[in-house]
Amino acid sequence: MTQSAKPGPSADPVIRMSHVSKWYGHFQVLHDVSLDVRKGERVVVCGPSGSGKSTLIRCINRLEVHQSGQIFVKGLEMTDNVKNIDTIRRHIGMVFQNFNLFPHLTVLENLTLGPMLTRQMKKSAAEDLAMHFLRKVRIPEQSGKYPLQLSGGQQQRVAIARSLCMEPEIMLFDEPTSALDPEMIKEVLDTMIELAESGMTMIVVTHEMGFARTVADNVVFMADGRKVESGPPEEFFGNPREERTRAFLDQIL
């Protein structure tokens, strides 16, 4: 099934998902999902647990493989073409619920590893870059610590800074605040708001509807592997069209 790089249907959206379906064995986890994301757009994906949100965004950098439909990132199609996958992954940062930091490396080493290994940066340049992003997420003083010496909120900000050190054009967040104690959620959301204000293209899976209201250009509601409805936050929250969306919002708001 290896295919050569071919341009997407439009150079315009940085991400284009077109009629994407995916199965785990016989279980269909994604049903015909289409979604365009333009440069600088902020998309929030919400929906009940098990509705396919993680699977959806993991297909974008091919941590999961879809079986039908097409996904284009910057005009390159996500197939099993390894060269495309490498190119596309270089443009995409991902932040997970559980931070996924390397526990045996210091904060600074967590941040410099990627740039040194995959971008062939010299150690001193990688450290300068790392400190730049640690200042951005407001924890430069933690650079010499190990992840487990930090609070959850600090660890997640390190994870965000680590992604930013790869200077991605797109950031994917999968429930970045779900594992945090309530008092730490705000510091991580504030970091993400600043990132959004800097113009980063972002897809954020979250149940933080306050964040969705203030930051999102487009809110997508998933249920049972289907994109049930989507729209700008004023419409989505003010006048949801689908009964399932209303029921979900009633539960969480």
In the complex with ligand ADP, the residue whose CB is nearer, 49 or 251, is: 49
Strand partners, 28: 23
Least Å distance, CB 64 to Mg ion, is 11
Please count the residues of the chain. Answer: 253
Both tokens of residue 176? Answer: 């970045």
Residue 24 binds which entry of Mg ion, ligand ADP, none, with Cβ cut-offs from 5 to 8 Å by kind?
ligand ADP
Least Å distance, CB 97 to Mg ion, is 7
Give the burial class of 67: count Cβ atoms within 10 A of its Cβ; 0-12 exposed, 13-18 middle, 19 or more buried: exposed
In the complex with ligand ADP, the residue whose CB is nearer, 4 or 49, is: 49
Stretch that binds ligand ADP, among 24-32, 111-119, 140-148, 190-198 (CB under 6 A): 24-32
Per DSSP (E only), the strands in the chain are 15-24, 27-37, 42-46, 68-73, 76-77, 92-95, 170-174, 201-205, 218-223, 226-231
Q: Which of 54, 191, 230, 245 binds Mg ion (CB under 5 A)?
A: 54
Stretch that binds Mg ion, among 52-60, 74-82, 113-121, 129-137 (CB under 5 A): 52-60
In the complex with ligand ADP, the residue whose CB is nearer, 53 or 91, is: 53
Residue 50 binds which entry of ligand ADP, Mg ion, none, with Cβ cut-offs from 5 to 8 Å by kind?
ligand ADP
Both tokens of residue 241? Answer: 């069209």
Residue 152 binds which entry of Mg ion, ligand ADP, none, with Cβ cut-offs from 5 to 8 Å by kind?
none
Cα–chain center distance at 66: 17
Residue 49 binds which entry of Mg ion, ligand ADP, none, with Cβ cut-offs from 5 to 8 Å by kind?
ligand ADP
What letter would DSSP give residue 105?
A: S
Give the footprint of ligand ADP on residues 29-88 (CB under 6 A). 29, 47, 49-55
CA-wise closest residue to 166 among 105, 65, 94: 94
User: Applying CB under 5 A, does 110 fall inside the site for Mg ion?
Assistant: no
Cα 82 to Cα 80: distance, rounded to the nearest angstrom: 6
Least Å distance, CB 120 to Mg ion, is 34
CB 244 within 8 Å of CB 69 = no
Task: Give contact residues for Mg ion (rule: CB under 5 A).
Answer: 54
Task: Give contact residues for ligand ADP (rule: CB under 6 A).
Answer: 24, 27, 29, 47, 49-55
